[in-house]
Structure 1
Amino acid sequence: MTTAIVVLGGGYTGVMSAVRLARRIRHADARVTLVNPTDRFTERLRLHQLATGQPLADYRIPELLKGTGVEFVQGRATRIDPNRREVQVASAGGERLVAYDYLVYAVGGVTDTTSVPGVDMHGYTLDSPAAAARLAERLAELESRGGGTVAVAGAGLTGVEAAAEIAESYSALHVMLLGRDEPGSMMGPKARRYLSRALERLGVEVRACAEVTKVLPDAVELTGGELVPVDALLWTAGVVAAPLAEEAGLTVDAKSRVVVDATLASVSHPSVYAIGDAAAIRQAWGEIHGTCQSGIPTGAHAADTIARRLRGKKAMPFRFGYIHQPVSLGRRDAVIQFTRPDDSPGRWHLTGRAAVLYKEAVTSSPPATYRISRWVSIPTRALARTGGRASRAVAAR
């Protein structure tokens, strides 16, 4: 009988896995189905641009899958039954069950808006184009009124890019970057100094060791009780996985990520492969953290492993090492920290115009990679050069 392979999630990792699967199983009696709530492919790496009113390319998932034979189902996965091997999907046409022999779980994660009181009610996120558009409306409103204070909570790379983009795009706004650590703390000292000077040049007020404990309609409360008035708050502090896997009874970690073995198969349900932000993946040097850089190779490896199993071959362990931390600082500046495999900073970094070109090449590479992957199986190590600081694919729930 025909082997059914279902990919849940049409983000960076899910599309990579579906396209790669289609090539790898082209001579087998198997079919691939990709399920995602929308037919639009979201470039998560560019949502901070969308939040500042910049137009983005309109990629559609069916177009990215064209010629591969992958069936696209537009709908939201609401339940997984790993024992019956079925996924319940809600769509405009109603509920339907999609059966599978192998499931690739690529639903990604979303911003954690529940750990701090008030974030879910008063904070903005970059979880989707719609969320970014809501922030864009607010920023434009504040600019038209002559100014205001915009706080970005979270001094990780997503927060840094967003703060720089907002400050560059809206001269009337006062932008604050709030975080437990210094911006770019994971970078080497030279790259970190360059990043700090760039934020200073853009007029971003950086407050390190400033942990937000509560969000109010017009202010944030910091540790110690200090109230900081704000007109808008963008929350980028932390990511949580979608609850779909946990609800299905798969073994998950404290962050609701699927616990996988060395081949990326679920330790509790081997017919399920979890990839990207949805998976808790360990390597010899430590645990992988969610980035597009690591997510796309996991999608390719899951596809290769399923194809090997269909041919009766032994599954191979996933091996990965980071190579860079690309960070945009507005449209005219950037810094690239090259890294060791464990993502610790290496000796080299790149800045200025060369870094802008590098960052743009990395950010724009996934759609081109999918097109090439229809005809050529790119080595997973080379795929680490695609994407960048954050994948966080839109959850299929």
Structure 2
Amino acid sequence: MNATTARQHEVLVLGAGYAGLAAAIQLAARGKKRGNVRVTVVNPYDVFTERLRLHMTATGQETAEMSIPELLDGTGAGFVRGWVTTVDAEAKTVRIDDDRVLRYDTLVYGLGSVADTAAVPGVDDHAHTLNSAQDAAVLADRLARLDGGTVVVGGAGLTGVEAAAEIAEQHPGLQVVLLGRTEPGAGMRPKAKAHLDAALARLGVQVRCGVEVVKVLPGGVELADGSAIPADAVLWTSGTRVSPLAAVAGLSVDERGRVVTDSALRSVSHPDVYAVGDAAAIRQGYGVMHGTCQSGMPTGVHAALSILRTLAGKEPKPFRFGYYHTPVSLGRNDGIVQFTRPDDSPRRIVLTGKRAATYKETVTASPWPTFARMKKMPASGAFWPRGGRYTRIRSAK
């Protein structure tokens, strides 16, 4: 074996969310056969955060706790716990908060997104978020200590809808007010929209649409029309933002700070950097993808396969993805599944009620089995959940 083949190719994966872990597990499991790829995952926490269930954590419900080192066990991937503070794309190094410097040959950038707490004054100081399990637990403690009162949920997107429904169901003594510029479920088909409206009404959620929060106060929110809504707790779910690290590192980013990628998910400015999940601006025929678990895991898988093809001296294949559904929980025993076209526009097919709740629990169940399957994948393909079943993506040999 010569010096070139003996040297290990160092791959750093920043972020251990759905996309980052999918990339790391696929790459490490397949790279073991090559023997010259070393994968290291960097993440601030050693426990995997199921972001799809944080509205449950926020209401005091127990969810599965999954150790990231255990998820990686058997793949050969290493794990480093720490916050990324600097990415030097020219020197190909990453610095973390204990001042350790990690070198890479290839970087998988999967730092994800968080609620945008900077756009509206007072959000950072006075509102709760669902950015992490720790944030959700803080809100759960606050709600548990309230003896009546009002909870304002700022943002009527799907995160806000799920959180408002969950809080109203688990804490029936609280008045939940859902605020948004548009109506909840505005992009759904009429049947789905009607069911969502009826469910929120049944749970006692007060919906106010067409309003804009301009400031969050210690005891409520101020609206653009000058009025105010008193609140004992405010949950902020309106808008997302990504880490500025990519822009500071000199990577080409879009207007929201997401890494702009080519068709193989490589940074257009630094081809040794792959971007996955919410941190990436990935263009498809229908436009730039929006971040979901549904799309995040496939980006991670594709990045891994692209890296392996490149190391084999082959050109990576273009990433192609189409949406399939939008599952929404409305408490523990109710929900909506709006099936979609590949461009995420709604189809006529809709599930509601208990059937929808069961469907969502099936397709968003703990990712542990999915990651376990990935660790054992043969070289011919990869799997991720899609529409309640496993969908195969052919490996590019």
Q: Distance in 1 between matches of 2:172 and 2:381?
A: 44
Deviation at 1:229, TM superposition (A): 1.0
User: How big is each residue's C-alpha offset from its partner over 1:178-203, in whole Å with a ceiling of 9 and x where there is no partner?
Assistant: 00111011211110110110000000
Contact 2:64–2:366, Cα closer than 8 Å, also in 1? no
Q: Which runs of 5+ in 2 are unaligned?
A: 1-6, 390-397
Q: Distance in 2 between matches of 1:365 and 1:123?
A: 28
Q: Distance in 2 between matches of 1:386 and 1:308?
A: 29
Q: Distance in 2 between matches of 1:62 and 1:158?
A: 28
Divergent runs of 4+, >3 A: 377-387
Candidates 53, 60, 70, aligned match of 1:46: 53
Q: Distance in 2 between matches of 1:186 and 1:313?
A: 41
Deviation at 1:386, TM superposition (A): 7.4
Q: How does 1:185-224 map to 2 (within 5 A)?
A: 185-224=186-225
- State the SS of the aligned residue for 1:25: helix
Counterpart of 1:202, as a letter, is L
- Counterpart position of 1:120: 124
Deviation at 1:109, TM superposition (A): 0.9
Candidates 91, 96, 99, aligned match of 2:100: 96
Q: Distance in 2 between matches of 1:210 and 1:379?
A: 48
Deviation at 1:380, TM superposition (A): 6.3
Residues matched between the structures, number: 381
Normalized against structure 1, the TM-score is what?
A: 0.93
- Counterpart position of 1:179: 180
Q: Distance in 2 between matches of 1:45 and 1:178?
A: 21
Contact 1:35–1:75, Cα closer than 8 Å, also in 2? yes
Q: Distance in 1 between matches of 2:223 and 2:197?
A: 22
- Counterpart position of 2:143: 139
Counterpart of 1:74, as a letter, is R
Counterpart of 2:24, as a letter, is A
Q: Distance in 1 between matches of 2:287 and 2:248?
A: 27
Deviation at 1:383, TM superposition (A): 4.2
Q: Distance in 1 between matches of 2:63 and 2:180?
A: 28
Contact 1:366–1:386, Cα closer than 8 Å, also in 2? no
- Counterpart position of 1:395: none
Aligned: 1:231 with 2:232: yes
- Counterpart position of 1:84: 91
User: How big is each residue's C-alpha offset from its partner over 1:19-42, in whole Å with a ceiling of 9 and x where there is no partner?
Assistant: 010122222211111011110000
Q: 1:249 to 1:384 in 2, by over 3 A?
A: farther
Deviation at 1:384, TM superposition (A): 4.1
Contact 1:293–1:386, Cα closer than 8 Å, also in 2? no
Higher relative contact order (CA 8 A, sep 6+): 1
Worse-superposed segment, 176-185 or 22-31: 22-31
Candidates 67, 91, 100, aligned match of 2:74: 67
Q: Which runs of 5+ in 1 are unaligned?
A: 388-397
Contact 1:293–1:385, Cα closer than 8 Å, also in 2? no
- Counterpart position of 1:24: 30
User: How big is each residue's C-alpha offset from its partner over 1:318-342, in whole Å with a ceiling of 9 and x where there is no partner?
Assistant: 1000000000000111110000001
- Counterpart position of 1:107: 111
Q: How much identity, in percent, do the aligned residues show?
A: 56
